[in-house]
Amino acid sequence: MSLYRVTPDKLESVSRTTFAAESLLERKDLQRLLRLDITPIGDDLMVIAEEYGNWEDSNRRIDLLCLSKDAGLVVVEIKRTEDGGHMELQAIRYAAMVSSMTLDQVIQAYALMQGGEMEAARSTVLNFLQLTSEEEAELTGEVRIVLVSADFSTELTTAVLWLNRYELDITCIRLRPYRMGAEILIDATQIIPLPETTDYEVKVRAQEKEKRKVQTMREETLRRFWGQFIALSKGKTSLITNRQPPTDHWLTAGIGRTGFALNSVLTEDRASIEIYINMPGAGEARNKAAFHALHARKSDIETVFQGALEWQELPGKIGCRICSYLNGGWKGLESEWPSLQERMLEMLIRFERAFRKPIQELNV
């Protein structure tokens, strides 16, 4: 971006410069000036510490540690370089180190920076948070990161964009110096996230977080269901007794031949037991041949199974399926699980009894 001075006749370009050329240093100048006025970084911030490093076994220091209006901590790292170096990695370490800070520790850090007066520091911090007493407040536990540099490398911005997709909150602000006569001007521009897309990105992150929350709950539900199912099988069949409860919709058992899986399957509202045919390297034709060979023995197999089965050739698919369905799924009441698990286990045993010998006798 270019900066221009308006004159009566034209837009006059203002010359870009560098912090090094102007002898402006990171700590002595940029950090000091931002400590005195943090608004170029954010108007919702309060600087509570400079060169903060109140932890054991580390001599590392956070350039500026801030408090936000919503009671979160903000780590600000400053570089005067044209690429930002590896500041994102450094800032992540710092964010982890301060993530367990309490409000009382925040007040102590601010008091230390201001000269040691605890009551005055407490009052200032509470006023900033618009609270009347410390008992009313606690930190959110969330830590934002703000990276400030003369510019950022593609490597750094790519890393930041990727990290933000996984719920980190990292902002990149470019401080670009210009010289106009005897004066030095600073253009402060937020480049990540773009201000115009900030609200959208927040909504997307919230949506993704909710999706992960739902997925985690579903996985835990499935793990619990399969754990009970495996425990129920002990003493009744050895098919699954040594398995670990999965977080998937299916639990696989062997039936004596590679490429023939005996699966217990659970969806939201339906369960099933199936034989799934997909022999390694066999291709569609050979899998279909195996399916047809078993189907030719349909009457005998269903007699041993003691019931009708669904024979699904699955045209256009590599594999084939033979299955039977049951009412009830993982979204049902947990009090109803034992009945469903009993029916699934009984059907699993019947499947093995009906299919083990025919599958072993296949010549395909």
134-173 pLDDT per residue, tens? 777 788 889 999 999 999 999 999 999 999 888 889 999 9
62-76, 110-124, 168-182, 202-216: least confidently modelled range: 202-216
As a residue count, the chain comes to 364
46's tokens: 């309060």
CA distance 240 to 322: 19
Nearest-angstrom CA–CA distance, 137 and 144 = 19
Q: Which helix (H) or strand (E) holds 355?
A: helix 337-360
Is 185 in contact with 177 (CB distance < 8 Å)? yes
Task: Grade residue 323 by pLDDT with cuts at 50, 70 and 90.
Answer: very high
Report whether pLDDT(1) > 90: no
Residue 353 CB-density burial (10 A; 0-12 exposed, 13-18 middle, 19+ buried): middle
**In what helix (H) or strand (E) does residue 322 lie, and over which residues does it extend?**
strand 320-327
- The pLDDT value recorded for residue 57 is 60
Virtual torsion, Cα 229, 235, 236, 239, nearest 10 deg: 70
Cα dihedral sign for 96, 99, 101, 106? positive
Quickly name the fold that domain 209-360 has. Answer: Yope Regulator; Chain: A, (3.30.1460)
Which CATH fold would you assign to the domain 3-101+139-193?
Answer: Trna Endonuclease; Chain: A, domain 1 (3.40.1350)
Contact, 277 vs 319, CB < 8 A? Answer: yes
Write down the pLDDT at residue 212: 74
Three-class DSSP category at 70: coil
Is the CB of residue 301 less than 8 Å from the CB of residue 354? yes
- Label residue 296 by pLDDT band (50, 70, 90): very high
For β-strands 260-266 and 45-52, DSSP reports them as unpaired
For residue range 190-243, list pLDDT tens digits in order.
Answer: 999 876 556 656 676 667 777 777 778 889 999 999 999 999 999 999 999 888
CA of residue 162 relative to chain centroid, distance:
11
Domain residues of the chain, as ranges?
3-101+139-193, 209-360
> What is the reported pLDDT for 174?
93
d(CA 106, CA 229): 50
Distance of CA 210 to the CA centre of its chain: 10
Tokens 């409000």 correspond to: 103
**Distance (Å, whole) CA 180 – CA 15:** 7
Q: Indicate the pTM of the whole model.
A: 0.60
Residue 353: pLDDT band with limits 50, 70, 90: very high
Q: Which residues contact 40 (CB under 8 A, 6 or more apart)?
A: 34, 173, 175, 186, 188
**Residue showing tokens 């939201």:** 268
Task: Note the pLDDT of residue 197.
Answer: 56
Query: 242-294 pLDDT, tens per residue?
Result: 889 999 999 999 999 999 999 999 999 999 999 999 998 878 899 999 999 99
pLDDT band at 132 (very low <50, low <70, confident <90, very high): confident
**Separation between Cα atoms, residue 143 and residue 51, nearest integer Å:** 17
Q: Across the chain, what does the average pLDDT equal? A: 90
| Residue that is written with structure tokens 């911090």 in the block | 125
Taking only the tens place, the pLDDT of each residue in 23-45 is: 889 889 999 999 999 999 888 99
